[in-house]
């Protein structure tokens, strides 16, 4: 399809400055109400409306870019299509009745041209009409209402709109005399002739298209060939649109460059060019973003996007389809990109590192979550108690305290837990597993936190201090136990006598009175004691040490 856009045309004038066309003057008497067949001047009859032949009319012409595209224009998006009215078969005045509401047929402003089509409202640019309806004929009937149709670059047949019973309102559109008058561009698309506004049309303005050189000549319109604005094909050659887009991007890039100090301009421009021109189809899709175009709309919710693939992926939300499956753990998901991220879990690589504490992880999302610790950010708050945390998962787990939900069950003893980790630790009771071993004393335990606490025994540090007596210790639990000394409460009662005490260790020692058990034995004389302090005092007999009074 090759449209024709009329550039300033020279009208034929006589010596007195009047237009040359005696025959047309006669036709000017045609009344608006009298929409009978307009008889063409004899001289016009040899012509038909004609576009330049094109090999492929599957490309859609964009009047603003003056380019053709396979599909919609990537810059300006789709056309707004105004359909003709539906008219039942057999209506002898079908052509007039197909006229859309916002248009009217009345006497043309072009002297002697008969009827024409006017807009009652303002029409924006990129409004498409068509196809031009009529009878398909193989020979040019020279009716003056014929469009030549091309197939694979060769003249194929004509669409003749002479008969008002078989044509549509487009038959009334006249030929523009000058570029300034022209507001429609004609093009062939998929075997049909379409007209499209390429600039806004004011109310009461006549719709005018260009009929082609030969027909125009017959109508006394002389066009300056040098001013002809011919469309270039986008396919197969580098087109100006890419250049224009490139230039726009470079302009933006230069503005942004001010903020990018250490990037060389040439390098930056090169990158931009690569981004834009590397892949033509990507550019086409990319340009939709600039056009603000969202061609693809979800039929279920209000989601819309500018890529068909995005809509396809989106639809999986509604269908529940999860076509991607992990071969390692069976995890399924809706998007290949999610699977790519998931697979990092199964790799050993920890490519995301915290700059603050050196923590490394496999996923960028984990690092993001981790960074909340340093930011002191606690986004997630419990609605029941004052608990807050920086991970949604932690809040979810926490909420089980309030709901009583215990989804983790032990298959062996029926133990239930609200945390998977707790069940995992619990299972060690049944397996006897104690995966944590102290390198210093061989102590083993089930949990890493227990090992951490244990390791304090081997350190010299005594970070816990009693505020009452200044006693220091290595573990918080020891301080907690110690604090009972300063309280009046005597938690432990002997079941045999009336002895009570504050510490469990004291009760253990006391019970030896009743059992006769003597744990502390002198290595020198074999004497036995039930208290370590008694053995210590006894040892002075052997060492000769005297207690300072």
* Residues at the interface with ligand SAM (CB under 6 A): 24, 38, 40, 44, 108, 110, 112-116, 144-145, 171-172, 174-175, 177, 219
Shortest distance, position 247 Cβ to ligand SAM, whole Å:
38
Shortest distance, position 20 Cβ to ligand SAM, whole Å:
11
Maximum CA extent, the chain: 150
CA distance 79 to 286: 18
Nearer of residues 6 and 479 to ligand SAM, judged by Cβ:
6
**Sequence-distant (≥ 6) Cβ neighbours of residue 358 within 8 angstroms:** none
Residue the block writes with tokens 């590192």: 353
Shortest distance, position 224 Cβ to ligand SAM, whole Å:
16
Nearer of residues 115 and 395 to ligand SAM, judged by Cβ:
115
User: At 49, is the secondary structure helix, strand, or coil?
Assistant: strand
Nearer of residues 37 and 405 to ligand SAM, judged by Cβ:
37
DSSP state of 19: B
Decide if 393 contacts 400 (C-beta within 8 A).
Answer: no
Q: How many CB atoms lie within 10 A of CB 414?
A: 7
Decide if 252 contacts 276 (C-beta within 8 A).
Answer: no
Residue the block writes with tokens 């350190």: 459
Nearer of residues 31 and 155 to ligand SAM, judged by Cβ:
31
Q: How many CA atoms lie within 13 A of 175 on its CB side?
A: 30
Shortest distance, position 107 Cβ to ligand SAM, whole Å:
9
Nearer of residues 78 and 100 to ligand SAM, judged by Cβ:
100
User: At 140, is the secondary structure helix, strand, or coil?
Assistant: coil
Nearer of residues 182 and 239 to ligand SAM, judged by Cβ:
182
Radius of gyration of the chain (CA): 46
Shortest distance, position 98 Cβ to ligand SAM, whole Å:
14
CA distance 17 to 63: 34
CA distance 332 to 313: 14
Decide if 480 contacts 497 (C-beta within 8 A).
Answer: no
Residue 36's nearest CA partner among 44, 27, 45 is 27
Shortest distance, position 144 Cβ to ligand SAM, whole Å:
3
Nearer of residues 49 and 276 to ligand SAM, judged by Cβ:
49
Strand locations in 300-363 (E): 304-305, 324-325, 332-333, 352-353, 360-361
Residue nearest ligand SAM, Cβ-based? 114
Nearer of residues 79 and 145 to ligand SAM, judged by Cβ:
145
Shortest distance, position 23 Cβ to ligand SAM, whole Å:
9
Shortest distance, position 218 Cβ to ligand SAM, whole Å:
8
Shortest distance, position 21 Cβ to ligand SAM, whole Å:
7
Nearer of residues 219 and 367 to ligand SAM, judged by Cβ:
219
Shortest distance, position 110 Cβ to ligand SAM, whole Å:
5
DSSP β-ladder status, 208-209 and 174-175: parallel
CA distance 304 to 290: 15
CA distance 254 to 264: 11
Nearer of residues 24 and 314 to ligand SAM, judged by Cβ:
24
């Amino acid at each position: 399809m090759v449209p024709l856009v009329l550039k300033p045309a020279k009208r034929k004038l006589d010596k007195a400055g009047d237009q040359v066309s005696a025959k047309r003057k006669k036709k000017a008497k045609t009344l608006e109400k009298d929409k009978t067949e307009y008889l063409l001047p004899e001289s016009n009859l040899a012509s038909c409306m004609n576009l330049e032949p094109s090999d492929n009319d599957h490309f859609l012409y964009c009047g603003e870019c003056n380019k053709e595209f396979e599909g919609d224009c990537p810059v300006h998006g789709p056309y707004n299509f105004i359909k003709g009215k539906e008219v039942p078969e057999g209506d002898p005045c079908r052509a007039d009745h197909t006229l859309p509401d916002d248009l009217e047929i009345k006497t043309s402003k072009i002297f002697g041209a008969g009827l024409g089509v006017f807009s009652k409202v303002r029409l924006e640019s990129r409004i498409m009409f068509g196809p031009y309806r009529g009878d398909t004929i193989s020979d040019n009937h020279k009716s003056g209402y014929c469009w030549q149709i091309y197939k694979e670059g060769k003249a194929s047949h004509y669409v003749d709109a002479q008969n008002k019973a078989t044509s549509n309102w487009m038959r009334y559109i006249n030929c523009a005399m000058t570029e300034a008058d022209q507001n429609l561009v004609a093009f062939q698309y998929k075997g049909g002739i379409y007209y499209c506004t390429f600039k806004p049309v004011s109310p009461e303005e006549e719709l005018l298209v260009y009929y082609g050189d030969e027909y125009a000549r017959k109508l006394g319109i002389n066009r300056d060939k040098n001013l002809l604005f011919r469309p270039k094909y986008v396919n197969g050659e580098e087109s100006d649109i890419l250049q224009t887009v490139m230039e726009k991007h470079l302009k933006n890039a230069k503005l942004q460059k001010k903020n990018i100090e250490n990037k060389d301009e040439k390098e930056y421009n090169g990158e931009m060019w690569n981004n834009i021109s590397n892949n033509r189809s990507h550019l086409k899709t990319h340009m939709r973003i600039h056009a603000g175009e969202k061609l693809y709309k979800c039929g279920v919710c209000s989601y819309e996007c500018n890529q068909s693939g995005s809509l396809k992926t989106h639809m999986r939300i509604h269908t529940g389809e999860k076509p991607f499956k992990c071969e390692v753990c069976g995890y399924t998901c809706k998007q290949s990109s999610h699977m790519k991220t998931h697979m990092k879990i199964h790799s050993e690589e920890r490519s995301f590192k915290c700059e603050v504490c050196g923590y490394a992880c496999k996923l960028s999302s984990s690092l993001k979550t981790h960074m909340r610790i340093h930011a002191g950010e606690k986004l997630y708050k419990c609605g029941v108690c004052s608990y807050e945390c920086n991970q949604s998962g932690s809040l979810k787990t926490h909420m089980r305290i309030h709901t009583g939900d215990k989804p983790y069950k032990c298959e062996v003893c029926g133990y239930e837990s609200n945390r998977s980790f707790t069940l995992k630790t619990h299972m060690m009771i049944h397996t006897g597993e104690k995966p944590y071993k102290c390198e210093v004393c061989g102590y083993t335990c089930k949990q890493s936190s227990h090992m951490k606490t244990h390791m304090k025994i081997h350190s010299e540090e005594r970070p816990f201090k009693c505020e009452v007596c200044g006693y220091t210790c290595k573990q918080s639990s020891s301080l907690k136990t110690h604090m009972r000394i300063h309280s009046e409460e005597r938690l432990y009662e002997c079941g045999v006598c009336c002895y009570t005490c504050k510490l469990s260790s004291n009760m253990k020692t006391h019970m030896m009175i009743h059992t006769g058990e003597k744990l502390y034995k002198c290595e020198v004389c074999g004497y036995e004691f039930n208290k370590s302090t008694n053995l210590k005092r006894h040892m002075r007999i052997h060492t000769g040490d005297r207690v300072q009074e």
